[in-house]
Amino acid sequence: MGVQGWQALEKTVDYIPPEHFKIADAKRGDIGNSSGQYAKAFFETLNFDAITIAPYMGEDSVKPFLEYEGKWAIVLGLTSNAGAKDFELQKFVTKTDLLDEGIHIEKHDTKFLYEIVLENVSKWGNPNNLMFVIGATQAEEFENIRQITPEHFYLVPGIGAQGGSLKDISEMAMIDDECGLLVNVSRAIIYASDTENFSHSARGAATQYQQEMSRYLKRIGTYS
Amino acid sequence: MGVQGWQALEKTVDYIPPEHFKIADAKRGDIGNSSGQYAKAFFETLNFDAITIAPYMGEDSVKPFLEYEGKWAIVLGLTSNAGAKDFELQKFVTKTDLLDEGIHIEKHDTKFLYEIVLENVSKWGNPNNLMFVIGATQAEEFENIRQITPEHFYLVPGIGAQGGSLKDISEMAMIDDECGLLVNVSRAIIYASDTENFSHSARGAATQYQQEMSRYLKRIGTYS
């Protein structure tokens, strides 16, 4: 968000009724001391319920966000953007501890970086204070992701403007009628229209996504 | 930085004479659209010269920061904190393209994640718009890092409060009397004293680091 945006942000947060879950998609992550200050600013000063976190710097950069009762850290797992292929979807062989004399490895010994991130980060928190960002454009990975982190909620961007399918990811990653998915649609709603009547169009777009999601939820509810 | 900190930040930036190089240690990195907005806020609105960037989301999250004439993206390479060992210093085998029938690998086929990041990110920019964050606490990796990115400046935190040695990293990673290192000391200077006379103590600490650095620079200058 822009710099002048901070005051607008405080005002926006104040407009939102307190029963709504508020996520700061701020993608923070710094040395422990600084992450602690970010956590304080977003969770205490602004009273957000959750914040998105970049995992690159490791455990001490994530931990401070997990220490607030009733608050959530949402760590980047496999993101929706094209750049996900650069590091997150690089495939590595991880058996390097036995390497002194060389080893024979096969395809099933390999892992994507994002899988290593999910495995490690899920040990630092629990399903009640930790979620992961999983992009809807990565549908072919959703079943695998659900196996690695069977009990965690996912924050799912990439529906709408980025082309992800709400139907596909709902079928693959909803756990039960408690859901397991927090689907985020931003641009397809806030830019639904640029006329003076934009609030009507935005409401229409939001209602449409909500109703579609509701159908998938009912279907899961019947099966479970 | 804290939320109320944004107004203080604008004021602080205004205090600093324009000939000084100003780095926003903000560790941003988001989908291209959002990274573009962050770049605009820090480079145009606040007129920073550089900003630190987290690389996890890949090329489109970094590129918008490389598109400003005379400005710098400083991408996290190998950070100074304990959590660097969680992902940055995980050692991977990268030869996975030939894996269909299995492959024999040895130790020299492995790379740290941070090495893969340096190799890839350095292709997205050049030594005139891109630097890397390399923590002073990682002295044993500095020679290797200098081989991977021989012409890039490093922003080096971790001197002072975190225990890194200015002498060690200067010997290993200065290129010539144009330096190649931007050494950052924060807490050891701003927390040099908590008395009313703190500005005197802070100046003393800053001067001491500056003079030490100056000696190493002279030595390099003589040799080159």
Across the interface, whether the CB atoms of B96 and A94 are under 8 A apart is answered no
Looking at the DSSP bridge assignments, the partners of residue B156 are: B183
How would you write the pLDDT of chain B (224 residues) with one tens digit per residue? Answer: 444 566 778 888 889 998 999 999 999 999 999 999 999 999 999 999 999 999 999 999 999 999 999 999 999 999 999 999 999 999 887 766 666 667 777 777 789 999 999 999 999 999 999 999 999 998 889 989 999 999 999 999 988 878 888 888 888 877 766 668 999 888 889 999 989 889 999 999 999 999 998 888 877 664 44
Q: What would the pLDDT profile of A174-210 be if each residue is shown by its tens digit?
A: 776 666 899 988 888 989 998 988 999 999 999 999 9
Residue A3 has pLDDT above 60, yes or no: no
Q: Strand ranges (DSSP E) for chain A?
A: 23-28, 50-53, 72-78, 91-93, 103-105, 110-112, 130-134, 154-156, 181-183
Q: What would the pLDDT profile of A42-63 be if each residue is shown by its tens digit?
A: 999 999 999 999 999 999 999 9
The nearest CA of chain A is from the CA of B204 a distance in Å of 24
Kindly provide the ipTM of the predicted complex, given to two decimals.
0.91
The encoded tokens of residue A30 equal 């710094």
Across the interface, whether the CB atoms of B81 and A31 are under 8 A apart is answered yes
- Measured between CA atoms, the residue of chain B closest to residue A116 is B87
SS3 for chain B is CCCCHHHHHHHHHHHCCCCCCCEEEEEECCCHHHHHHHHHHHHHHCCCCEEEECCCCCHHHHHHHHCCCCCEEEEEEECCCHHHHCCCCCEEECCCCCHHHCEEECHHHEEEHHHHHHHHHHHHCCCCCEEEEECHHHHHHHHHHHHHCCCCCEEECCECCCCECHHHHHHHHCCCCCCCEEECCCHHHHCCCCCCCHHHHHHHHHHHHHHHHHHHHHHHHHHC
Across the interface, whether the CB atoms of A87 and B1 are under 8 A apart is answered no
pTM of the model: 0.92
Q: Using a CB-CB distance cutoff of 8 angstroms, which residues of chain B are in contact with residue A32?
A: 81, 83
Distance CA B106, CA B101 (A): 17
For the question of residue B27 being annotated catalytic, the response is: yes
Q: Which of B11, B22, B27, B167 is the catalytic position? A: B27
Sorted by where each starts, the structural domains of chain A and their CATH numbers stand as 5-185 (3.20.20.70)
